[in-house]
Amino acid sequence: MNDIKVKVKDLSLRYGTNLALKKISMDIPEKMVTAFIGPSGCGKSTFLRTLNRMNDLIDNVAIEGEVFIDNINIYDKNIDVVNLRKKVGMIFQKSNPFAKSVYDNIAFGPRINGISHKSNLDEIVERSLKQAAIWDEVKDRLFHSALSLSGGQQQRICIARSLAVNPEILLMDEPASALDPISTAKIEELIHELKKEYTIIIVTHNMQQAARTSDLTALFYLGDLIEMNKTEIIFSNPAKKQTEDYISGRFG
Amino acid sequence: MVTFNKKKFRFSDWLAEKVIKAVAFLSIAVVILIFIFVFREAFPIFKMDKKEAASTETLVQESYGGLGTDNSTVKSADNQVDNSNRKQTNDEKPSSSLLSKTWMPVSDNPRYGLWPLFLGTLKVTLIALLFATPISILAAIYTSMFAKPGIREIIKPVIELLAGFPSVVIGFFALMVMATVLQNIFGYASRLNAFVGGIAMGLAAIPIIYTLTEDALTAIPKTFIEASLGLGASLRQTAFYVVLPAAVPGIFAAVVLGLGRIFGETMIALMATGNAAMISMNPFDSVRTLSATIGAEMAEVVFGDIHYNVLFLIGSLLFIFTFALNALAEFYFKNLVVRKYQSKK
Amino acid sequence: MNRNVKDIIVESITGICVLVIIFIIVSILTITIVGGWPNLNWAFLSEFPKDGMTKGGIFPAIVGTAVMTIIMAVAAVPFGVITAIYLAEYANEKSVIAKTIRFAVKTLAVVPSIIFGLFGLGFFIGFVGKNMDSLFSGGELRWGQPNILWASLTMALLTLPVVIVSVEEAIRTIPRDMREASLALGATKWQTIRKVVLPGSVSGILTGTILAVSRGAGEVAPILFTGAVYFSSHLPHSLSDQFMSLGYHIYIMSTQSSNVDATQPIQFATTLVLLFLTFSLNAVAVILRYRIRKRTK
């Protein structure tokens, strides 16, 4: 097993009075794919969003507990959330490219970091698009609107856009749920490539996808972490009865 | 390498937030400043009163008795000692004059009786509301309930265009065209009067009442309408017995805001009401409204004169009234709407 | 009565109400066009009034209105946009401050325009202007009297809510996804507003500006005693000059002119110009707003 990249200790989250996450603890290893599965409403996406403090944007959310990334507690009051998010990129369920050209989408992150030199930007854009395995498809259309691309291409543009900021961790919130099977396969292939360099955490409602792409799998149910283990163990020999019931399709 | 273990100070973000928050307070500041500066210029009337009252307490009683019927007390020159900064020699006590029945600010013996102005405003406002409210509400019912979607898309923007007509244009139309047409129909004596002015101001209020009523009607959940139609009620019955009652608070708010618009309307009043400050209940007599009085006379008064202060006092009254109307529409009626559909939003 | 007959009668009555309103709108437009068109020519638009305002054109009134609305927009739009950004991006809806600001904006929207005129007179002229005079020109009267600057600023306060409402509406149609995408890339809140929110609100800002200009061009009450004049032999060449305005010109010509009948063609033609101006501006705004609303669907 690789080194621990993310360590979560007793993390609880409340929406108003509703307890959405109950004392979650887990270790997530570096440069591997960790999948969160569970029925909808189980808290897996909410949990994912606590790892780059995206829940900060929502009113009425209270968080207790600790999340260490590279041994630094990201809920410490001295944390710079903006820089945290540069290190922890996020891909959303619905692809959300800006209404700008492909080039400007990818260059958005570098630009806000003060990179303005044309040749530097060109280089980053090309590298990111290549990493996201979409360079060949868009290299002649760099200055067309990103919204003119297909759904699957848009999602890979979003991945490339995240990569352009040089993150270390990529959070993916059901990145293929809105896509067709071919686009989904491309995204999964990409995840496989990216884990060589990045720590990837993916939320999915699709158990086959978790089985195909991940090294570790965690099952959430009603705000609890039921079980977390190597993916092949979860899917072949789970320790908990609930896990067995879920993966065999008896609930959720 | 990006590090996040220490909060970074970002000057532009810090500055942007401070500036944005400060500027957002501007609206509040302006409202407060309007309060202060409009009231400040009206205030001297009461101050003069108190000074006078203090120095002439005993004399006042006598002079009232002596003057009998005329309740706008004219003061003798002896009592003017501590008001020597004022120019007129026959200054009267402004507040008692305010309640008199004559508005005659530019004469040797100026009177600032607000009654004719109140009455005139009331008359015009009533006529305008009686004209604008039913027609706007019925038109809104047609638009939201009976019109086919394609036609609705045309009616709404066309009626809303009326909101874009400057009031001076409506006033001009009333003065040049409506006054003559209505006089020919009703055959009254004075061409410009409360009736013409009221109808013209109603025109200005129609788009407000119409739009807000239409919004209130379309905000009624579709399920209400479907349930009613499903029970065999006709569209007309659904509109009048289901949708309209449910939208009452919203419609009230619409009428209240329309009322505010009419009440404060200046240009139409100046151009179409005839501007004669008289006490009469006849809708076909000329009237002078509160706002028109300010508009017509402010340009000609002397800075700091009683007349100037009285005009600001009228402005203060207008301001308080529209402020209260807005607060009523905002807090009372909106709460009613919210409570009614709490589960919806 | 038969229910169907009742239905038809009631529906007809409501339909007639719609027709009456539309008829009035069309009448105003038609009569203004018919009355004003014959007198509308280049000379009318480009000349000064002549012969005691009974002949000649309305050039200074057009210029005055244009300059006044430009100054007004320059003052109102930035403040309006920033307030809208506050309300849409920074304010916590439940906080007392946000509620108070919202209520203040609504109050400004319903305060009678004549009150703004009084405020302009009491505040800009009687307070700010007077103090400027005693500070800068040793009491010599320059700013403490009506002028185009004070009239424009007064009008800017009146149109502030128009801008705020339009811009906030546009900002709110920008999907939450876009903000999250930007923030997840490590953009700060201000960078997100500058690079994502504002570019997406351009049409809303434009709509707000156009509506404000249209409103400002047509309002007369606020400038009655803050800067508009009956006649001026020259165009305003300084902020402390008074100015002629289209709306004020219509008012004066139709009510105080020495010969109301003789100047009737001028009145109609001026009204036509003003109506054309506000009408076309409004039409553009309606189309823009329609396109913004479509985006949310």
Q: What is the pLDDT of residue A224?
A: 92
Say how far apart CA B273 and CA B125 lie, in whole Å.
12
State whether the Cα torsion A43-A48-A51-A53 is positive or negative: negative
Question: What residue ranges in chain C does DSSP mark as E strands?
Answer: 49-50, 55-56
* B-chain residue closest to C216, CA distance: B166
Confidence band, pLDDT 50/70/90 cuts, at residue B331: confident
Q: What is the pLDDT of residue B76?
A: 39
Q: Over chain B, what is the mean pLDDT? A: 82
**Which residue type does B167 have?**
S
Q: How far is B32 from chain A (nearest CA, A)?
A: 30
B202 pLDDT above the threshold of 90? yes
> DSSP letters along B95-141, please?
HHHHTSS-EE-SSSS-EE--HHHHHHHHHHHHHHHHHHHHHHHHHHH
Q: What is the pLDDT of residue A16?
A: 86
According to CATH, what is the number of the domain C40-296? Answer: 1.10.3720.10
Q: In a 3-state reduction of DSSP, which class is residue C244?
A: coil
Say how far apart CA A231 and CA A219 lie, in whole Å.
11
Q: Quick: pLDDT tens for C109-118.
A: 999 999 999 9
The verdict on B88 and B128 lying in the same domain is: no
Place of tokens 């990818």: A106
Say how far apart CA C96 and CA B25 lie, in whole Å.
12
CATH assignment at residue B291 = 1.10.3720.10
Q: How far is C118 from chain B (nearest CA, A)?
A: 7
Say how far apart CA C155 and CA C217 lie, in whole Å.
9
Say how far apart CA B175 and CA B192 lie, in whole Å.
7
**Which residue type does A247 have?**
I
CB contact under 8 A, A86 and B2: yes
> Measuring CA to CA, how many Å separate B2 from each of A167, B301, B303, C186?
9, 69, 65, 11
Q: Quick: pLDDT tens for A203-237.
A: 998 889 999 999 999 999 999 999 999 999 999 99
Q: Cβ(B144)–Cβ(B135) under 8 Å? A: no
pLDDT above 70: percentage of residues in chain C: 99
Structure tokens at B265: 């309307």
What is the CB neighbour count within 10 angstroms for residue A204? 25
Nearest of B193, B153, B202, B197 to residue B171 by alpha carbon: B197
What are the domain boundaries of chain C? Answer: 40-296
The verdict on B25 and B131 lying in the same domain is: no
Interface B–C counts its CB contacts (< 8 A) at 258
Q: Tell me the chain B residues in contact with residue C83 when contact means C-beta distances shorter than 8 Å.
A: 23-24, 26-27
The verdict on B165 and B305 lying in the same domain is: yes
Q: What is the pLDDT of residue C284?
A: 87
Q: How far is A239 from chain B (nearest CA, A)?
A: 37
Confidence band, pLDDT 50/70/90 cuts, at residue B328: confident
Q: Over chain A, what is the mean pLDDT? A: 92
Q: Quick: pLDDT tens for A128-174.
A: 999 999 999 999 999 999 999 999 999 999 999 999 999 999 999 99
Helices (H), A39-170: 44-50, 81-87, 102-112, 118-131, 135-138, 151-163
* Residue range B172-181: mean pLDDT, rounded: 93
* Domain that residue B50 falls in: 11-96
* Residue range A110-132: mean pLDDT, rounded: 94
Question: Is there a domain that residue B263 lies in?
Answer: yes
Q: Write the residue in C28, C90, C105 that is nearest to B165 by C-beta.
A: C28
Q: What is the pLDDT of residue A199?
A: 96
Say how far apart CA C266 and CA B244 lie, in whole Å.
46
Question: Is there a domain that residue B3 lies in?
Answer: no
* Residue range A46-72: mean pLDDT, rounded: 91
Say how far apart CA C248 and CA C252 lie, in whole Å.
6
Q: In a 3-state reduction of DSSP, which class is residue B264?
A: helix
Q: What is the pLDDT of residue A2?
A: 80
Question: Is there a domain that residue B337 lies in?
Answer: yes
Q: How far is A16 from chain B (nearest CA, A)?
A: 18
B65 pLDDT above the threshold of 80? no
The verdict on B87 and B167 lying in the same domain is: no
The verdict on B65 and B145 lying in the same domain is: no
Say how far apart CA C283 and CA C211 lie, in whole Å.
10
> Strand pairing of A199-203 and A33-37?
parallel
Q: What is the pLDDT of residue A211?
A: 92
Confidence band, pLDDT 50/70/90 cuts, at residue B79: very low
C213 pLDDT above the threshold of 50? yes
The verdict on B57 and B163 lying in the same domain is: no
Q: What is the pLDDT of residue B96?
A: 66
The verdict on B163 and B131 lying in the same domain is: yes
Say how far apart CA C103 and CA B124 lie, in whole Å.
28
Nearest of A210, A214, A109, A121 to residue A163 by alpha carbon: A109
The verdict on B272 and B302 lying in the same domain is: yes
Interface of B with C in 114-173 (CB under 8 A): 134-136, 138-139, 141-143, 145-147, 155, 157-162, 164-173
> Measuring CA to CA, how many Å separate C34 from each of B63, B179, C250, C269?
62, 18, 17, 9
Q: Cβ(B136)–Cβ(B206) under 8 Å? A: yes
The verdict on B60 and B181 lying in the same domain is: no
The verdict on B184 and B304 lying in the same domain is: yes
Say how far apart CA B286 and CA B284 lie, in whole Å.
7
Give B178 or B64, the one with higher predicted confidence: B178
Structure tokens at C284: 């553009």
The verdict on B307 and B173 lying in the same domain is: yes
CB contact under 8 A, A83 and B10: no
First to last CA, chain C: 44
Give C2 or C115, the one with higher predicted confidence: C115
Q: Cβ(B128)–Cβ(B199) under 8 Å? A: yes
Helices (H), chain B: 11-42, 44-55, 57-67, 94-98, 115-141, 149-161, 167-173, 179-186, 194-218, 222-230, 235-237, 244-246, 248-264, 267-272, 290-297, 306-327, 334-340
State whether the Cα torsion A224-A227-A228-A231 is positive or negative: negative
Structure tokens at A91: 């891909």
Q: What is the pLDDT of residue B3?
A: 84
Q: Cβ(C155)–Cβ(C222) under 8 Å? A: yes
Question: Is there a domain that residue B101 lies in?
Answer: no
B61 pLDDT above the threshold of 80? no
Q: What is the pLDDT of residue B30?
A: 94
Q: How far is C115 from chain A (nearest CA, A)?
A: 39
Q: Write the residue in A94, A162, A165 that is nearest to C177 by C-beta.
A: A94
A181 pLDDT above the threshold of 80? yes
pLDDT above 90: percentage of residues in chain C: 66
Say how far apart CA A100 and CA A104 lie, in whole Å.
6
Q: What is the pLDDT of residue B227?
A: 92
Nearest of A158, A175, A167, A248 to residue A214 by alpha carbon: A175
Question: Is there a domain that residue B76 lies in?
Answer: yes
Q: In a 3-state reduction of DSSP, which class is residue B313?
A: helix
Residue A63: phi and psi, rounded to 5, are -120, 135
* Residue range C169-186: mean pLDDT, rounded: 93
* B-chain residue closest to C123, CA distance: B37
**Of B96, B123, B148, the domain-final residue:** B96
**Which residue type does B90 have?**
N
The verdict on B142 and B67 lying in the same domain is: no
ipTM: 0.91
DSSP state of B9: P
Q: Quick: pLDDT tens for C72-81.
A: 999 999 999 9
What's the total number of domains in chain B? 2
Say how far apart CA A189 and CA A89 lie, in whole Å.
19
Q: Tell me the chain B residues in contact with residue A74 when contact means C-beta distances shorter than 8 Å.
A: 4
Say how far apart CA B91 and CA B89 lie, in whole Å.
6
Q: What is the pLDDT of residue A41?
A: 82
Q: What is the pLDDT of residue C237?
A: 86
Q: What is the pLDDT of residue B333?
A: 73
Place of tokens 């004003």: C36
* DSSP collapsed to 3 states, C115-136: HHHHHHHHHHHHHHHHHHHHHH
Residue A172 bridge partners (DSSP):
A91, A202
Give B67 or C249, the one with higher predicted confidence: C249
What is the CB neighbour count within 10 angstroms for residue B96? 18
Which chains does B contact via 3+ CB–CB distances below 8 A? Answer: A, C
Q: How far is A124 from chain B (nearest CA, A)?
A: 16
Structure tokens at B195: 């009736």
DSSP state of C175: -
Interface A–B counts its CB contacts (< 8 A) at 30
Q: Write the residue in B2, B8, B10 that is nearest to A87 by C-beta.
A: B2
Structure tokens at B47: 């101050």
What is the CB neighbour count within 10 angstroms for residue A244? 15
* Residue range B118-139: mean pLDDT, rounded: 95
What is the CB neighbour count within 10 angstroms for residue B148? 7
Asked if B291 has any chain C CB less than 8 Å from its own CB, the reply is yes
Q: What is the pLDDT of residue B49?
A: 55
Question: Is there a domain that residue B175 lies in?
Answer: yes
Q: Quick: pLDDT tens for B222-249.
A: 888 899 999 989 989 999 999 999 999 8
* Residue range B78-106: mean pLDDT, rounded: 56
Helices B306-327 & B44-55, crossing angle to 10 degrees? Answer: 120
Q: What is the pLDDT of residue B73?
A: 38
Q: In a 3-state reduction of DSSP, which class is residue A26?
A: strand
Helices (H), C173-263: 176-184, 189-192, 198-200, 202-218, 246-255
The pTM score is: 0.86
B345 pLDDT above the threshold of 50? no
Structure tokens at B171: 């006033």
CB-based contacts of B169, cutoff 8 Å, min separation 6: C28, C32, C218, C250, C271, C274, C275, C278
Residue A145 bridge partners (DSSP):
A101
B335 pLDDT above the threshold of 90? no
Structure tokens at C253: 């010509």
Q: List residues in chain A touching B: CB distance below 8 A.
A: 72, 74, 76, 78-84, 86-87, 166
Q: What is the pLDDT of residue B111?
A: 78
Confidence band, pLDDT 50/70/90 cuts, at residue A102: very high
